[in-house]
């Protein structure tokens, strides 16, 4: 298991809960269930081993994708991504803050477009 970026988790659980709400929408889960698991992890240094089996399922279903496997939206949708389709870990916080979900390759590409 990769190490959880606690700053990022804190952002998703306390600062802007919309991402979790969106992830939960249309499922049988309640946002507060996922937020509860997130809060628990924040209180325990992100130690996933302390989760109950049920909490772990919730974590893997909703929080893990938001923390580790975020799809790059490319220049005009995921299929236009110029990287490997996923946003690099070091960019995630920036992406959530700005609501612009692009990997390094796509950011470099947009940067060049603006300069030209
Ligand atoms: Zn990309």
Q: Same domain for 62 and 109?
A: no
Q: Would residue 73 count as lying in a domain?
A: no
The whole-number average pLDDT for the span 62-78 is 96
The string of pLDDT tens digits covering residues 80-110 is 999 999 999 999 999 999 999 999 999 999 8
Q: Same domain for 106 and 82?
A: yes
Residue 62 Cα to ligand 1 midpoint, Å, equals 22
State which residues form the domain around 101. 78-115
Q: Same domain for 56 and 28?
A: yes
- Asked if residue 111 has pLDDT above 60, the reply is yes
Residue 44 Cα to ligand 1 midpoint, Å, equals 33
Q: Same domain for 56 and 23?
A: yes
The number of folded domains in the chain is 2
Q: Same domain for 14 and 57?
A: yes
Task: Say if CB 60 and CB 53 are below 8 A apart.
Answer: no
The per-residue pLDDT for 113 is 60
Q: Same domain for 31 and 49?
A: yes
- Taking all residues of the chain, what is their mean pLDDT, rounded to a whole number? 94
Q: Would residue 17 count as lying in a domain?
A: yes
Residue 3 Cα to ligand 1 midpoint, Å, equals 23
Q: Same domain for 110 and 86?
A: yes
**pTM (two decimals):** 0.89
Neighbouring C-beta atoms of residue 66, cutoff 10 Å: 19
Q: Would residue 1 count as lying in a domain?
A: no
Q: Same domain for 63 and 101?
A: no
* pLDDT confidence bin for 41, thresholds 50/70/90: very high
Q: Same domain for 51 and 89?
A: no
> What is the spatial distance between Cα 66 and Cα 35, in angstroms, rounded to a whole number?
13
The string of pLDDT tens digits covering residues 20-30 is 999 999 999 99
> What is the spatial distance between Cα 2 and Cα 37, in angstroms, rounded to a whole number?
17
The whole-number average pLDDT for the span 39-58 is 97
């Amino acid at each position: 298991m990769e190490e959880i970026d606690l700053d990022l988790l804190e952002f998703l659980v306390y600062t802007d809960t919309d991402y979790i709400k969106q992830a939960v929408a249309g499922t049988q889960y309640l946002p507060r269930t996922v937020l509860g698991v997130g809060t628990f992890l924040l209180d325990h240094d992100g130690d996933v081993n302390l989760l109950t089996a049920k909490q772990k399922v919730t974590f893997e279903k909703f929080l893990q994708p938001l923390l580790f496997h975020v799809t790059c939206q490319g220049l005009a949708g995921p299929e236009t991504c110029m990287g490997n389709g996923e946003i690099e870990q070091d960019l995630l916080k920036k992406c959530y803050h700005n609501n612009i979900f692009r990997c390094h390759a796509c950011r470099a590409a947009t940067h060049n477009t603006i300069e030209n």
